[in-house]
Structure 1
Amino acid sequence: MPTPTERYLKPEVIQTVSRLDLRARFIVEGFMAGLHASPFHGFSVEFSEHRRYAQGDDPKDIDWMAFAKTDRLYVKKYQAETNITGWLLMDLSESMGYTHSQKLTKLDYCICLAAAMGYLMVHQQDPVGLVTFGDELRASLPARSKRKQLGDMLAVLAAAKPSGGTDVGGALKKVSAMAKHRGLMMLFSDLLTDRDSTLEGLRRLRHAGHDVIVFHVLDAAEVEFPFTGTVDLTDPETGENLILDAAGMRGEYADAVREFREDLQTECRKMGADFVPLHTGLQFDKALLEYLSHREARF
């Protein structure tokens, strides 16, 4: 049975929590509670300044207290070896406000996920910054590791509203120019924008030496297409609408979504970026595991 905190990995439960700081904490605590069943057994913020023992490491650096708790060998890490600078890149375009179920919008889901990532990084003493954007950059907080940074980021995210168009590629190019040091860029977006421009922006980040994780978040209805009868679909950013027969389009639509995501995943793989396909009905642990997997691979 899931522990009480593991319940907060479920979007339908986390939406009942009004405060974003509590959402972030509950998601992370729920995730940590379930780590015993994951490949990251023994990981916690408690060991943020440790890494797994490898052949050639000095046995004097082994942390035997960590071994007693986890049954795994860890060596202590120096601060310069530990820190990674993270950036949360949040798409605030109008399409991110879509929800079919009247539950969490795509933006709500992304904000909860980004808040949890920020919570993890700050508690690991890693500097983390935030950039929000639509068709232009909207807000930017430089990367810091102080506890106050988490509150500052959550305040910006809590006030964020979806509006306007999308220029993911343009935003990524500006972020690449802003970031003075190599870091981990975490993009949260539905990527409903120009494909080539987006990929060029991602390539620019990779060329600058940044690690990149793309959290591609769609509404559950955008993936599962639960509609019936005649459906009038409206593009929230352009106002264009399309009337169609749901039953007749379901198969073609499912193929298009699958091809859309497979194409993005293939292109990300080619450039060495991680692509994480999500929808608003999925628990948050998949995305958190992707983050930890990417972070562990750096050391």
Structure 2
Amino acid sequence: MATVEQYLKPAVIQQIKRLDLRAQFIVKGFLQGLHASPFHGFSVEFSEHRKYTHGDNPQDIDWLVYAKTDKYYTKKFEAETNITGYLVMDQSRSMAYTYRQELTKFDYSICLAAALCYLMIQQNDPVGLVTFGKKIEQFLPPKSKRQQIASVLSVLAKLEPVGETDISKSLTQLAAMIKHASLVMVFSDLLGDADDTISSLRRLRHGGNDVILFHVLDEAEVAFPFHGLMELEDPETKQKLEVDADNFKKDYTEELKAFRDQYSAECFKSGIDYVPLDTSMPFDRALMEYLVTRRQRA
């Protein structure tokens, strides 16, 4: 069975542990949505102190602490860290595909999820796991304890991607399950109806959730490195199609670009982060680039 170390590399931990996944989330008004007045009158639960830094609200300074220490400290509130994350994993058969890369799309997604799970636990934020095919299959409730990383990976390592997928139905089901605004991280090859999937993503976003969509494809699905007559098979429906790869490549790459562009444009309109990836990109580099960009946008 796979181990935590197989998916959560020490080198990746060193790279990401100083990045803050919550930055954009807070700036977008998440706290204001949860609490009518989170920073005035101390209306949320006090957690601990931290040193005052430039940009903090001076109204949060604890003057009693200043009187005793002659140093500025602000009160840190539980609301600042109480952001629940959900790792939402497509476990359909198509995610098991790989052409010549070491990692399948599913394994690649697990590596991304492991790093993000670690990052949220480091921030003391609870994180849970949802897997889906034609519907939600497994649900691991969010927790912020360090053991949660092993629990999440234990579930994922035992899974064998099988069956068909209904992304739209599964995400709609998830939107109904989430009771509070959360950070929803979706990992899928999105091999389904784009319009329906985008509609369900909007439903998640309109529920006050911050949504990140990791669109994970195999290298061959992006580059199409095939030649001559070949038979294509849908991994979920088993439908087959014989094509001349050399003549088919131009149409295929144009369709793929349009497919990705549609997701990119529609996600942008809805305030959803769309992250197109393929398995030829080292997952740690891809994740670092995204997290740095997210932080800069915040």
Same fold per superposition (TM over 0.5): yes
* Equivalent residue, structure 1, for 2:66: none
Deviation, 1:54, is 1.3
Equivalences, count: 257
Kindly indicate whether residue 70 of structure 2 is the aligned counterpart of residue 54 of structure 1: no
RMSD: 2.7
1:238-258 CA-to-partner distances (Å, cap 9, x unmatched) read 111111111111221111111
Shift of 1:290: 2.6
Q: How far apart are the structure 1 equivalents of 2:145 and 2:56?
A: 34
Matches within 5 A, 1:68-83: 77-83=76-82
Cα distance, 1:295–1:155 mapped onto 2, change above 3 Å? farther
Which runs of no fewer than 5 residues in structure 2 stay unpaired?
20-49, 63-72
Residues 70-92 of structure 1: CA deviation (Å, up to 9, x unaligned): xxxx9774332133211100000
Alignment match, 1:248: 247
Structure with greater contact order relative to length (CA < 8 Å, sep ≥ 6): 2
Residues 2-60 of structure 1: per-residue CA shift (max 9 Å, x gap): xxxxxxxxxxxxxxx9523443143533534998xxxxxxxxxxxxx889731754796
8 Å contact from structure 2 (residues 95, 106) kept in 1? yes
Equivalence for 1:19: 3
SS at match of 2:87: strand
Q: Which amino acid aligns with 1:151?
A: A
Q: Does the 8 Å contact 1:25/1:119 carry over to 2?
A: no
Q: CA deviation at 1:289?
A: 4.1
**Aligned equivalents of 2:232, 2:105: Cα separation in 1:** 17
TM superposition shift of 1:146: 1.1
CA contact (8 A) 1:87 1:185 kept: yes
Structure 1: distance between partners of 2:292 and 2:144:
18
Whole-angstrom distance in 1 between the partners of 2:192 and 2:52: 39
Aligned-partner Cα distance in 2 for 1:296–1:75: 24
Q: Deviations over 1:173-214 (max 9, x none)?
A: 111111111011000000001212211110110111001000
Give the 3-state SS of the residue equivalent to 1:132 in structure 2: strand
Give yes or no for contact 1:129–1:144 (8 Å, CA) kept in 2: yes
Q: What per-residue deviation string (whole Å, max 9, x for no partner) do you get for residues 108-161 of structure 1?
A: 100111111111111221110110000121100111111122121111111111
Q: Measured at CA, do residues 190 and 50 of structure 1 come closer, stay the same or move farther in structure 2, by a change above 3 Å?
A: farther
Is residue 168–residue 191 contact of structure 1 (8 Å, CA) maintained in 2?
A: yes
Aligned pair in 2 of structure 1 residues 97, 112: CA closer, same or farther (>3 Å)?
A: same
Q: Name 1:290's counterpart in structure 2.
A: 290
1:193 maps onto 2:192 in alignment: yes
For the residues of structure 1 that align with 2:52 and 2:297, how far apart are their CA atoms? 11
Which residue number in structure 2 is paired with residue 125 of structure 1? 124
Query: Structure 2: which amino acid aligns with 1:78?
Result: F
- Are the structure 2 counterparts of residues 212 and 27 from structure 1 closer, same or farther at C-alpha, using a change threshold of 3 Å? farther
In structure 2, relative to structure 1, the CA distance for the partners of 1:87 and 1:289 (3 Å cut) is farther
Contact 2:7 2:110 in 1 (8 A): no
User: Does 284-293 or 85-94 show the bigger shift?
Assistant: 284-293
Match of 1:144 in 2: 143
CA contact (8 A) 1:83 1:127 kept: yes
> What is the CA–CA distance in structure 1 between the aligned matches of 2:152 and 2:292, rounded to whole Å?
20
Matched position secondary structure for 2:8 = helix
Could you say if the C-alpha distance between residues 209 and 32 of structure 1 is closer, same or farther in structure 2, counting changes exceeding 3 Å?
Answer: closer
Cα 1:150/1:296, change in 2 over 3 Å = farther
Q: Percent identity?
A: 46
Residue of structure 1 equivalent to 2:15: 31
* Whole-angstrom CA distance in 2 between matches of 1:187 and 1:291: 15
- Contact 2:88/2:129 (CA < 8 Å) preserved in 1? yes
The structure with more radius of gyration: 2
5+ unaligned residues in a row in structure 1: which ranges? Answer: 1-16, 36-48, 62-73
Q: Are 1:203 and 1:271, in contact at CA under 8 Å, matched by a contact in 2?
A: yes
Amino acid paired to 1:98: Y
- Would you say the 8 A contact 1:89–1:187 is kept in 2? yes
The 1:257–1:165 alpha-carbon spacing in structure 2 relative to 1, beyond 3 Å, is same
TM-score by length of 1: 0.78
34 and 146 in structure 1: CA distance in 2 versus 1, 3 angstrom threshold:
closer
TM-score under structure 2 length normalisation: 0.78
Whether the aligned pair in 2 keeps the contact of 1:21 and 1:115 (CA below 8 Å) is no
